[in-house]
Structure 1
Amino acid sequence: MTRYIVRRLLQMVLTFFGATFVVYALMFANQDDPYQVLAGDRVVSDSQRAALNAQYHLDKGFFTQYWYYVKGLLTGDFGTSLTGRRIGDMLAEAWPITIKLTLLAIVISAVVAIAAGVFSAVRRGGIFDHVTLVLTLVVLAMPIVVLAPVAQLIFGVKLGWFPVTVTRDANLYQLLLPALVLGTLVVATELRVTRSSVAENLRADYVRTARAKGLSTRRVVGVHVLRNSLIPVITLIGVDLGVLMSGAIVTEGVFNIPGVGFNLFRGIRTEDGPVVVGFVSVLVIVFLVVNLIVDLLYAVLDPRIRYE
């Protein structure tokens, strides 16, 4: 197990630098004029432009720029945005609200998906199975750019059940509506994967043996089938956790949540390369760590899996 973890950590290092290099190249290789975008209609003088170029090393070659970025990254310095704010401070402000929103969304979606998927598999071919199939298809067909403002209008403005906007110090109740909206990105897929996995395991030999020994359906499904069926679901949830953190741009924009997605969208719109690269670098770390944890959970769920 130790050798496997060390090997995975080395792979994570290579993946991290490869991903950050690609993102850095996409943001800076063909950048237009970010200073003019930030200045708006005001004129940026040549002296101001030269000073900013020297501050952000934009007067040097691309690989030299990337080296300065990596050198700062290794010391915990994510740099400074084009507006003069420390990116580390922006990350410290944005990540707590996004983590709370993402964890709430993943818990809601996982509970709903696993419960409904198991019941749908046990009662496959029934009314509940057909209804969930139709609902998941509807959810998959409805883009988040439509669902988020519609949910805000109906449940926030018309009915008044939830706050219309969310502040940085929001509690779980204030985050509930955006978390429900965000969870719809993954709940349909998780439900269908759970149903397929449980239905496949219900036809396995060990299930027939357990039933022949007189075990109740609840014990067979809850203890034996569910544990073996959770491996693909856990994999999907691990991937979805990173997807939700990076895919919250629309949800955070609609509900005015000052989180990671909100800052990423603003950085892209203003061509603030340091902000985009800094936030994406942390997202890459989250993806890698979550995938490592998911792989280690395989051995917990299935004792037959050993990492040697």
Structure 2
Amino acid sequence: MFRYFVRRVLQGVLTFFGATFIVYALMFANQTDPLQTLAGERPLPENVRQALTERYHLDDPFIVQYGHYMRGLLTGDFGISLTNRSIKEMMEQAWPVTVRLALLAIVIAVLISVTSGIISGIRRGGPFDTVTLIITLILLALPIVVLAPLAQLFFGVQLKWFPATAGADPGVYQLLLPAAVLATLVMATEIRVTRASVAENLRSDYVRTARAKGLSKRRVIGVHVLRNSLIPVITLIGLDLGNLMAGAIVTEGVFNIPGVGFNLFRGIRTEDGPLVVGFVSILVIVFIVVNLVVDLLYAVLDPRIRYE
């Protein structure tokens, strides 16, 4: 297990450097004029342009710029955005909001999808299973750019069940509606994976053996079927957590949530390279850590799995 852990950590380090290099190249290699983009239509004084160019090393070769950035990143210095704000301070404000939103969304998605998937897998071909499959098809076909404004209009503006916008420091209640909308990104897939996994394990030899020994249906499903069925579901949930944190751009924009997605969208629009690369670097670390934790959970869920 320890050798596997060390190997995965080394792979994660290589993945981190590779991903940050690609993102940095996409943001900086072919930039037009980020300083003028920031200033808009107003003319930018030459002395200001020169000072900003020296601060962000814009006159250095690309690889030198990347080296300056990585040296600061590895020492905990994320730099200054083009709006002259500390990126570290912006992260300290944005990340807690996005983490709360993503965790709330994953809880909603897991509660609904795992429960529905288990019932659908046990009662495969029944009315509940048919309705569930139809709902998953609708969720898969309905993009979040459509669902988010509709949910805001219907539940926030017309019915007034939830706040239409979350505000600067949203609580659980303010995040409930955007979290439910964000959960639809992964809910349909989790339902289908859970359903297929449960249905497959119900036809396994060990289930027939357990039933032949006289074990109750509740024990067969609760102890034997669910434990093996959760392995692919846990994998999907771990990946979905990172996807929800990275894919909250539309949701945070619609509901005015000052999180990671909101800042990323603003940074991409204004060509604020330091801001985008800083936030994406932390997202890469989140993905790597979540994937490692999910892989280690395999051995806990299934004693047959061992990492040598």
Q: Does 1:228 align with 2:228?
A: yes
TM-score normalised according to structure 2 size: 0.99
| Distance across 1 between alignment mates of 2:199 and 2:259 | 39
Distance of 1:283 and 1:198 partners within structure 2: 32
Paired position in structure 2 for 1:79: 79
2-structure distance, mates of 1:114, 1:216: 22
Aligned amino acid, residue 39 of structure 1: A
Aligned residue number for residue 186 of structure 1: 186
CA distance in 2, matches of 1:274, 1:172: 31
1:227 to partner: Cα distance: 0.5
Note the 1:263-302 alignment, pairs <5 A.
Answer: 263-302=263-302
In structure 1, what is the equivalent of residue 117 of structure 2? 117
Matched, 1:106 2:119: no
Corresponding letter in the other structure for 1:83: T
Q: Judge conservation of contact 1:249–1:262 (CA < 8 Å) in 2.
A: yes
Q: Which consecutive aligned stretches of 4+ in structure 1 deviate over 3 angstroms post-superposition? A: none
Q: Counterparts of 2:59 and 2:22 in 1: how far apart (Å)? A: 20
| Rounded Cα–Cα distance in structure 2 between residues aligned with 1:218 and 1:70 | 54
Shift of 1:184: 0.2
**Could you list the per-position Cα deviations for residues 65-104 of structure 1 after superposition, in whole angstroms to 9, with x for gaps in the alignment?**
0000010011000111001001000000000010000000
The 2-side partners of 1:50 and 1:169 are apart by 37
Aligned residues: 308
Deviation at 1:195? 0.3
Return 246-255 or 218-227, whichever deviates more: 218-227
How do residues 239-254 of structure 1 correspond to structure 2 at under 5 angstroms? 239-254=239-254
Following superposition, the deviation at residue 34 of structure 1 comes to 1.1
SS in 1 for 2:124: coil
The aligned residue for residue 8 of structure 1 is 8
User: What CA distance in whole angstroms lies between the structure 1 residues aligned with 2:112 and 2:137?
Assistant: 16
Structure 1: how far apart are the matches of 2:16 and 2:252? 26
Seq. identity, %: 73
What is the Cα deviation at residue 174 of structure 1?
1.2
Deviations 1:31-54 (A, max 9, x none): 011111111121012222121110
Map Cα deviations across residues 104-134 of structure 1 (whole Å, 9 max, x no partner): 0001101111110010010000000000000
Which amino acid in the other structure matches residue 290 of structure 1?
A: V
Deviation at 1:207, TM superposition (A): 0.3
Give the Cα–Cα distance (whole angstroms) in 2 for the partners of residues 225 and 112 of structure 1: 19
Partner of 1:258 in structure 2? 258
Instruction: State the Cα deviation string for residues 246-285 of structure 1 (Å, max 9, x = none).
Output: 1000000000000000000000000000000000000000
Write the letter of the residue equivalent to 1:27.
M
Residues 97 and 168 of structure 1 are in contact (CA less than 8 Å); yes or no, is this contact kept in structure 2? no
Q: Secondary structure at the match of 2:84?
A: coil
Q: 1:211·1:217 contact (CA, 8 Å) conserved in 2?
A: yes
1:85 match: secondary structure: coil
Q: Report the 3-state secondary structure (helix = DSSP H, G, I; strand = E; otherwise coil) of the residue aligned with 2:307.
A: coil
Structural mapping, 1:196-235, within 5 Å: 196-235=196-235
1:138 aligns with 2:138: yes
Check whether the contact 1:121–1:196 (CA below 8 A) recurs between aligned residues: yes
In the aligned structure 2, how far is the partner of 1:232 from the partner of 1:184? 19
Instruction: Give the 3-state SS of the residue equivalent to 1:303 in structure 2.
Output: coil
Greater Cα shift, 210-219 or 263-272: 210-219
TM-score normalized with structure 1 length? 0.99
Unpaired segments ≥5 residues, structure 2? none
| C-alpha contact (below 8 Å) 1:23/1:277 kept by paired residues | yes
Distance in 2 (CA, whole Å) between partners of 1:217 and 1:152 is: 43
Which AA in structure 2 matches 1:307?
Y
Match of 2:32 in 1: 32
The residue aligned with 1:48 is: 48
Task: State the superposition RMSD in angstroms.
Answer: 0.7
Letter in 2 for 1:303: P
Alpha-carbon contact 1:94-1:258 (below 8 Å) kept:
yes
* Unpaired segments ≥5 residues, structure 1: none
The CA distance in 2 between the partners of 1:168 and 1:220, in whole Å, is: 48
Give the Å deviation of 1:63.
Answer: 0.4
Pairwise CA distance, 1:169: 2.3
Name the CA distance, whole Å, in 2 between partners of 1:173 and 1:217. 39
